[in-house]
Amino acid sequence: MIEAGTRAPDFSLPDQDGNQVSLSDFAGRKLVLVFYPLDFSPVCTDQLGLYQEVLSELEAKGAALVGISVDSAYCHAAFREKLNLTIPLLADFNPKGEVSKAYGAWIEGAGMSNRSLVLIEDGEVRWSHAAPNPGEIPGANLIFDALSS
């Protein structure tokens, strides 16, 4: 997992609507990257639903939240619609997992990201967390604690 104090790797990925979203789009703001395995899996559904519930509180703390998985933009669009999500979802689809790998969130051999959180501010990683396994949801309290420190 990428370490605090590291320069955040640049990225540009399509969101659920096909629009390119880059790290530079969040200049001057705190950004929380939420790496997760796959849309529509039961645990990912619970995780993104939980973060959606607290999104307004995170935004009130000056943070933007963006989900990243290896699913396509089309799959992300359907997943957002099904869950009524407003969190942007970025497709780390082609080349598969390139951004996940750059941030150390990739599970080699599984072809997907681990559940990982990365807080970026001013282009630098301020905090990161990787779940012990992809079946464990990192609680929203971890994000709030990272934003407060």
The DSSP string of 46-107 is: HHHHHHHHTHHHHHHTTEEEEEEESS-HHHHHHHHHHHT--S-EEE-TTTTTHHHHHTT-EE
**Span 20-76, pLDDT tens digits:** 999 999 999 999 999 999 999 999 999 999 999 999 999 999 999 999 999 999 999
User: Is the pLDDT score of 5 beyond 90?
Assistant: yes
Kindly state whether residue 135 falls inside one of the protein's structural domains. Answer: yes
Kindly state whether residue 3 falls inside one of the protein's structural domains. Answer: no
Which residue among the candidates 2, 34, 44, 85 is catalytic per the annotation?
A: 44
Is the pTM higher than 0.95? yes
Kindly state whether residue 126 falls inside one of the protein's structural domains. Answer: yes
**Span 113-129, pLDDT tens digits:** 999 999 999 999 999 99
Compute the mean pLDDT over every residue in the chain, rounded to the nearest whole number: 97
**Tokens 């933009």, residue?**
73
**Domain CATH number, residue 28:** 3.40.30.10
Residue 130 near residue 105, CB atoms below 8 Å? yes
Give percent of the chain above pLDDT 90: 99
- Decide if 44 is catalytic: yes
Instruction: Identify the band that residue 149 occupies on the pLDDT scale cut at 50, 70 and 90.
Output: confident
Kindly state whether residue 21 falls inside one of the protein's structural domains. Answer: yes
**Span 88-99, pLDDT tens digits:** 999 999 999 999
Give the structural domain span for 86: 12-148
User: Is the pLDDT score of 78 beyond 90?
Assistant: yes
